[in-house]
Structure 1
Amino acid sequence: MRAAEPVKIERHDVEGRQHHTNTGVRPVHTYREHAHGLFVARDFVAHPRIRHWQAHLLPEIGVQVCRYDFHGPREHDYYIDIATVTRAGDLWTVRDHYLDVIVHDGMAAEIVDTDELLAAHEAGHIGADELCRAVSIAHRVASGLVRARYSVPEWLAGQGVRVEWLAMPETVAV
């Protein structure tokens, strides 16, 4: 089994235009609130694989839907973090629940990092209720993506959620 990691908690300070992560504080060039949550976009500086990141924090669905602009070939189209998203004024908090869903648009979706979730539970980083919530949401997302033919926009639209993304340069698909 994988070594247990503490729960990753990220904060978005909309007024200060800062993304606080477990590795530091990064400037954000775009925050945009919408009816379903918060859109964020920022550059990844000196990252070996990623140039740019965009995400929609969607509290009602329990996810953070991400798109990455890679330096090389695109590794996936969407990366969906299973998380609790909360807001207190201009501060948005994302409590990651370890499980992620990787989506290859129109082709496949895969739940990953189950080993991280189980190790965290065994180590006492998360309780049984949070573990069950994460599994339930991950399976609901994966099942919804199957019904939407692995289209994240179609899956979200089926839940009444429409989101917009910034244009990304063309990258070579894997």
Structure 2
Amino acid sequence: MPPAEPVKTERHDVAARQHHTNTGVRPVQLYREHTHGLFVARDFVAHPRIRHWQAHLLPAPGLVVCRYDFHGAREHDFYLDIATITRAGHLWSVRDHYLDVIVQDGTAAEIVDTDELLAAHRAGFLGAAELHHAVTVAHGVLSGLARTRYDLGAWLAAQGVTLEWLPVPEYAVPEYAGA
């Protein structure tokens, strides 16, 4: 069992175009609000594996749908964080619930970080209600993806959600464009 880590809470300040994480504040190239939540696109400057990140914060059902652009070979198509997402004016907050679903679009999906979820619950960082929410959402996502043959777009469309993604050059900083 890994050591328990405090819950990761992130904040998106749309007005200031800033993404506040546990490791600092990062500039955001694009925020776009839509019917189902918030779209985010930003660079990962000096990251060893990741060049760019795009995500949709979806308060219902409680997902951050991430698409990473890697320096090397693509490791996965989508990375879904199970979370509680709230909004207060121009500030969006994401309280991570440890569980994640990794999606190889059209091929497979798996739930990861169950050990982190259980360690955090044992340490008191996550209450029973949040634990139950995380497990329920993660298994609902996995079951839904299985029914659509692991097609994330089809699963979301069945719930009335359509997500749009940008090609990297539309938001990348010049030093990374075309890399």
Taking structure 1 as the reference length, the TM-score comes to 0.96
Q: Secondary structure at the match of 1:76?
A: coil
1:53 aligns with 2:60: no
Q: Helix, strand or coil for the counterpart of 1:7?
A: coil
Q: What is residue 172 of structure 1 aligned with on the other side?
A: none
Q: Distance in 2 between matches of 1:11 and 1:129?
A: 22
Q: Give RMSD over aligned pairs.
A: 0.8
Separation in structure 2 between the aligned mates of residue 2 and residue 125 of structure 1, nearest angstrom: 14
Equivalent-residue separation in structure 1 for 2:39 and 2:113 (angstroms): 24
Q: Whole-Å Cα distance in 2 between the matches of residues 168 and 106 of structure 1?
A: 22
Aligned-pair identity in percent equals 76
- Equivalent AA in structure 1 for residue 7 of structure 2: V
Which whole-Å deviations, capped at 9, do the CAs of 1:44-101 have from their partners, x for residues lacking one? 0000000000000000111000000000000000000000000000000000000000
Distance 2:84 2:155 in 1: 19
Give me the whole-angstrom Cα distance separating, in 1, the residues matched to 2:93 and 2:52: 20
Q: Which letter maps to 1:162?
A: T
1:26 aligns with 2:11: no
Q: Specify the alignment match of 2:92 in structure 1.
A: 92
**1:152, 1:92 → 2: CA distance?**
24
List structure 1 segments (4+ residues) > 2 angstroms apart after TM superposition: none
Q: 1:41 maps to which residue?
A: 41
Q: Is it true that 1:81 corresponds to 2:81 in the alignment?
A: yes
**Amino acid aligned to 1:52:** H
Is 1:164 aligned to residue 149 of structure 2? no
Partner of 1:143: 143
Q: Distance in 1 between matches of 2:12 and 2:47?
A: 20
Amino acid at match of 2:70: F
Aligned equivalents of 1:111, 1:143: Cα separation in 2: 11
Q: Which runs of 5+ in 2 are unaligned?
A: 170-179
TM-score with structure 2 setting the length = 0.93
Query: Equivalent residue of 1:116, what SS?
Result: helix
Q: Tell me the residue number matched to 2:174.
A: none
Match of 2:128 in 1: 128
Structure 1 residue 157: Cα displacement: 0.3
Shift of 1:148: 1.2
Structure 2 distance, partners of 1:160, 1:61, is 12
Per-residue deviation at 1:145? 0.5
C-alpha separation between the residues in 2 aligned to 1:18 and 1:81? Answer: 20
Q: What is the rounded CA distance, in whole Å, between the counterparts of 1:92 and 1:168 in structure 2?
A: 24
What is the CA-CA distance between 1:17 and the residue it aligns to? 0.1
